[in-house]
Amino acid sequence: MSDIAENISKIKKKGIKVIGCFPLYPPLELLHSFGLVPLVLWDMKNQVRAFKESDRHLQGFTCSAARRLAEFLLSEEGALLDGIFMYNACDTLRNMPEIIQRSLGEREKRLPFFRLHVPMVPSEQTDSKGYLADRIHELITAIEKTFATRFSSERFLACVKLYNAIRKLCLEMEALVAEGKMSYALFSRLIRNGYLMAPEDLLSSLKDAISQAEACSSKNSSAGRRIIVSGIFPPPDAVCTIIEEVGMIVTGNDVATQARSYSYIPQEIDDPVNYYADFYQNHHPCTTLLYSSDKRLQMLMELIEKRKARGMIFIGEKFCEYEYLEMPFVEKLLEQKNIATLQLEIAADDEDNVESLRTRVETFSELIR
């Protein structure tokens, strides 16, 4: 876990407080506008490789995201955080605050916990804007009280612009991957690292990566077999490399830590209530945002058509029922459109044993030739 600890210590040396956030779509702009650095504790597969602590508190059939999260929060590195933020997502995460707080209590540690309840209802069915507005006000009050600070609409707007700039750079990088100018393996690594960096540092790292990729001569993208990838997490780094080695090109993605996180660019306004009403209601569809599920299939079909993909590789996060419940339906629909699918299931300890997947990826690549 050394690089998370290093990042947290580096930020804290500047006198800035660090908030660990989960799951993937927290109100980063709002937290940062208070002078805090929010780190999204999600794709930590390179940092958390053992589950000694989390196995004492979570069942073995919990997804790797939740197990890694618990392991980190209960570690010495986790104790470096100045607070934890979470919003509601799946059943697995529902009782996580109580589990973490109790376990920290047993070690006589305490961390402020901030929560937001995002209404999971479609706006066409129920107007939940007033409810969300109350939750946002409560969150602002809790942060002001805990850190003896005041909300500033100017600072909030500046943070909205900063995070939107990051989202736009991510979209630019995605286009470079589709054109064959940047490898998908590099793209995935840059985005994953970004979750554990201060946003200003992430912005410069993305700008550098884009300049470098643009400086390189473009490969012939039409030579690659065009696919999209989907899942909560991208394929493990070694599988990304295999995908490209066997001649496939990732022309788009529907990965929660990637396109689902950066694709929607919210309006730049200084009012957090209206900003987050727009942010959550118009969010890129994700299986974890229940109200967006109806729009998800349409979005997937449009993506496949727009990027002229011949196939889709689905990276199943073992034990994530949200993803798996939709998959048979998605697969059937894609079959009707003559789009091949390959399902790969990755569990917590599969990250290091991916060579066994090589043959399946190679076969899939031949299939869509």
State yes or no: residue 89 binds ligand SF4 (CB under 6 A). yes
Q: Smallest gap, in angstroms, from Cβ of residue 96 to ligand SF4?
A: 9
Q: How far apart are CA 124 and CA 354, in angstroms?
A: 43
State yes or no: residue 232 binds ligand SF4 (CB under 6 A). yes
Smaller CB separation from ligand SF4, 178 or 255:
255
Residues 326, 254: contact at Cβ < 8 Å? no
Q: Which of 93, 100, 159, 242 binds ligand SF4 (CB under 6 A)?
A: 93
Smaller CB separation from ligand SF4, 54 or 288:
288
Smaller CB separation from ligand SF4, 10 or 318:
318
Structure tokens at 366: 């031949």
Cα 239–chain centre separation:
18
Phi first, then psi, for residue 258 (nearest 5°) are -115, -105
Q: How far apart are CA 169 and CA 194, in angstroms?
A: 12
Smaller CB separation from ligand SF4, 183 or 287:
287
Smaller CB separation from ligand SF4, 65 or 159:
65
Q: How far apart are CA 234 and CA 317, in angstroms?
A: 10
For residues 46 to 65, the per-residue mask of contacts with ligand SF4, x marking binding by CB under 6 A and - elsewhere, is: -----------------x-x
Please give the residues from 3 up to 32 whose contact with ligand SF4 meets the rule CB under 6 A. Answer: 23
| Residue 178 CB neighbour total at 10 angstroms | 22
Smaller CB separation from ligand SF4, 288 or 365:
288
State yes or no: residue 320 binds ligand SF4 (CB under 6 A). yes
Smaller CB separation from ligand SF4, 47 or 92:
92
State yes or no: residue 365 binds ligand SF4 (CB under 6 A). no
Residue 271: closest CA among 165, 110, 155: 155
Residues 232, 307: contact at Cβ < 8 Å? no
**Is 38 in a helix, a strand, or coil?**
strand
State yes or no: residue 317 binds ligand SF4 (CB under 6 A). yes
Stretch that binds ligand SF4, among 78-86, 103-111, 266-274, 314-322 (CB under 6 A): 314-322
Ramachandran region, residue 319 (left: φ > 0; alpha: ψ -120 to 50; beta: rest): left
State yes or no: residue 66 binds ligand SF4 (CB under 6 A). yes
State yes or no: residue 288 binds ligand SF4 (CB under 6 A). yes
**Count of residues near ligand SF4 by CB under 6 A:** 13
Beta bridge partners of 253: 229
Q: Smallest gap, in angstroms, from Cβ of residue 288 to ligand SF4?
A: 5
Q: Smallest gap, in angstroms, from Cβ of residue 366 to ligand SF4?
A: 31
Residues 35, 11: contact at Cβ < 8 Å? no
Q: Smallest gap, in angstroms, from Cβ of residue 316 to ligand SF4?
A: 10
Stretch that binds ligand SF4, among 31-39, 89-97, 263-271, 274-282 (CB under 6 A): 89-97
**Which amino acid, residue 250?**
V
Q: Smallest gap, in angstroms, from Cβ of residue 59 to ligand SF4?
A: 12
Q: Smallest gap, in angstroms, from Cβ of residue 156 to ligand SF4?
A: 28
Q: Which of 90, 162, 171, 265 binds ligand SF4 (CB under 6 A)?
A: 90
Q: How far apart are CA 239 and CA 227, in angstroms?
A: 14
Q: How far apart are CA 229 and CA 148, in angstroms?
A: 44
Outline where the chain has alpha helix (H): 2-13, 28-33, 54-57, 64-73, 91-94, 96-106, 129-147, 153-178, 184-194, 199-215, 237-245, 259-262, 272-281, 293-306, 321-336, 358-367
Residues 229, 235: contact at Cβ < 8 Å? yes
Q: How far apart are CA 123 and CA 129, in angstroms?
A: 8
Q: Which of 92, 251, 261, 263 binds ligand SF4 (CB under 6 A)?
A: 92
For residues 172 to 201, the per-residue mask of contacts with ligand SF4, x marking binding by CB under 6 A and - elsewhere, is: ------------------------------
Q: Where on the chain is the footprint of ligand SF4 (CB under 6 A)?
A: 23, 63, 65-66, 89-90, 92-93, 232, 288, 317, 320, 322
